[in-house]
Amino acid sequence: MNKHVSPRMNRRAFVIGSATLGAGLAIGLDIPFGGPAVVRAADGSPEIGAWVVVRPDDTVVIRVARSEMGQGSLTGLAQLVAEELECDWTKVTTEYPTPGQSVARKRVWGDFSTGGSRGIRSSQDYVRKGGATARVMLIQAAADAWKVPASECTVSSSVITHTPSGRTTTYGKVAEAAAKLAPPPDVKLKDPKDWKLIGKGVKRLDTVDKTTGAMIYGADVKLPGMLNAAIKDCPVFGGKLKSFDEARIAGMKGVKKVVKVGDTAVAVVADTWWHAKTALDALPIAWDEGDNAKVSSASIAKWLAEGLEDSQPAYVGNKNGDAKAAIASAAKKVEAVYSYPYQNHATMEPMNATALYTADKCEVWCGTQNGEAAFAAVLEASGLPAEKCDVHKVMPGGGFGRRGQTDYVRQAVMIAKQMPGTPIKLLWSREEDMAQGRYHPISQCKMTGALDANNNLVALHYRLSGQSILFSLRPEALQSGMDPIAFQGVAQSGEAAFGYSVPNLLIEHAMRNPHVPPGFWRGVNVNQNAIYMECFMDELAHAAGQDPLEFRRKLMGNHPKHLAVLNAVAEKIGWDTPAPQGVYRGIAQVMGYGSYVAGAAEISVTDGSKIKVHRIVASTDPGYVVNPAQVERQIAGSFVYGLSALFYGGCTVKDGRIEQTNFDTYNSMRISEMPKVESVMVPSGGFWGGVGEPTIGVAAPAVLNAYFAATGKRIRSVPLRDQNITFA
């Protein structure tokens, strides 16, 4: 079985380091906030530090480096800055700085990467300091004008008041003077108990533009003289482009040029995208598919199954005691094998980017989860230095991890480079988007549990066999060959830690890397690990003759935060009271991305194969909640994604290529199938956890456990469509 390794990135003069591929910037860095020379925004308004621009009419423009993908980061990050700034929230707007601007200013805005539910939690400290710094400078400017001590001044909703005299002024009136001041060397952030805006469910800042159609997405970009490109890459990963017959489409309507894109793809450039796509479909193309064309889902499954054998090498991610010995001598043994398939991101808007290349400048307009990674891709593909390149972020029509990759950006630049001076918009077809994904990794898991004579869990052996995302995308992040994120949700410690105490425990990963490239898919490895562990916990509880909730509680005494969210969801679903006639319940919990989450589902089943999910309750402890309305929407959205994967998702491989090519074969749940979602937030404070991804992990196991309660049948592989199980 061939191993797939993504090509390494040549970062040239611009070195992003681990932030490029989503590891995050280690913010111990000194964020410069400005200085005596006034820095101005595009409209001439002064910056009060890099994060805040104040216009004369008191409008506050807050700079947001992270990407908005529908998850609400734009609003949440603005809330964090505005909280410390003490500005008028009704006059707040936002803008994206570009990575080129950031590099030119020594990365003043920190990390641009948006993934791993890190958008707010890993930038909250320094963006709040940006707001606090601007507030201090604005107050000082007013105090200087009045010739009074700044300590005598207060501010609320952008109005500065000199308390002894009652004089007032506004941010807009003193902004010019404030911009000339040196920023304070240190600022004190508010105590959470004094927050006024953080914790409030304020309306999102992007809603109006989205609902009126004013929002510009990547596919909407239009530039003077722009042409459109459609592309086909080798459908077998690792294969190459052999040849194409350009003469066969010569003279087709609108066609301007046919270009080779690297060693693996060909694109047609035309006046409209439809003309480009029509010509591309008619273009005879020969591929060198290589040995990977022999790979199938069956051959991958066989290889993964071999990895479940103890004789095969594996990396140990969590261990205590001697699980194998305890299992061998136990009174009762329970064993099960589960599997999880490839999943496509299937964003509503296919991958696209618009590039304009000349010998002296290369600019790209695109939706991206990581502006800096896209910027690095532009440098690599264009061959130009950082000061001659930039990336302009526009709203992406979905990300879910897929737009953290930059293959589509590189392609756009490579095409534009062959037509200098002409803007080229590259738009993938839906079929190309499905065929060229970076998929949720495939895996299998063999679990063995041991119960003593009193039905106490004394040992657990959890053996994964499957793909490593880091092996493909960030091999430098492997730890002596081991992929630490393979253990998300079952790790020994950290932000995705195991929530049970088992006397003898062995959790290990036999790495197997098929040629189909994996990627970060919303929730990443929490998804399958939550299914494997939480469904098996139910199996163990059943074997022990115990209630699934009580069985878990006995193992969670040393994990109070895990237990707290589990208890909260159990109370909300009414676990201790009878369910309505014909309705059955399932429960699950996991930790991911620094947050503790639990879920409970109520379902009914007809004919053994038609499931109606009536209700899902989710509980989360992310430490702090910036915008509770936003968190509720994130939870509901994660369940749409998680339940779609459970019922409909799953990509199969035939002749080395992905078989699912459109939504007719890779479905998504409909509004009528969506259950009622209830959210219970129990923020305990003292830490910052993620929101967008952790809760996705508990939807599927909660439903699967409820299905067993209803039918007595265990489902150990998904999607449910392959079990002939559908929504009722």
Question: What are the domain boundaries of the chain?
Answer: 31-212, 218-289+351-427, 297-343+439-727
Residue 37: the pLDDT is 78
d(CA 609, CA 725): 4
Tell me what the mean pLDDT of segment 578-595 comes to. 98
Rounded average pLDDT over 515-535? 98
Q: Which CATH architecture has domain 297-343+439-727?
A: 2-Layer Sandwich (3.30)
> What is the CATH architecture of 31-212?
2-Layer Sandwich (3.30)
User: Where would I find the beta strands (DSSP E) of 272-400?
Assistant: 285-288, 315-320, 332-340, 352-358, 361-366, 389-393
DSSP 8-state symbol, 425: E
Q: How confident is the model at residue 72 (pLDDT cuts 50, 70, 90)?
A: very high
Residue 14 pLDDT greater than 80, yes or no = no
Q: What is the full DSSP assignment across 216-253?
A: PBGGG---TT-EEEEEEE-SSTT-EEEEE-GGGGTT-T
pLDDT value at residue 481:
98
* pLDDT above 50 for 634: yes
Same fold, 31-212 and 297-343+439-727: yes
In the prediction, which pLDDT does 33 show? 47
In this prediction, residues 380-401 reach a mean pLDDT of 98
Structure tokens that stand for 226 in this block: 């722009």
Rounded to two decimals, the pTM is 0.94
What is the per-residue pLDDT for 32?
A: 43
| Mean pLDDT confidence for 680-708 | 97
Share the mean pLDDT of the chain: 94
> From 3.30.365.10, 3.90.1150.10, 2.120.10.70, 3.40.50.740, which CATH number describes the 218-289+351-427 domain?
3.30.365.10
The whole-angstrom separation of Cα 197 and Cα 227 is 45
| Over residues 13-27, mean pLDDT | 31
Q: Are strands 332-340 and 153-156 parallel, antiparallel or unpaired?
A: unpaired
Residue 146 has pLDDT above 90, yes or no: yes
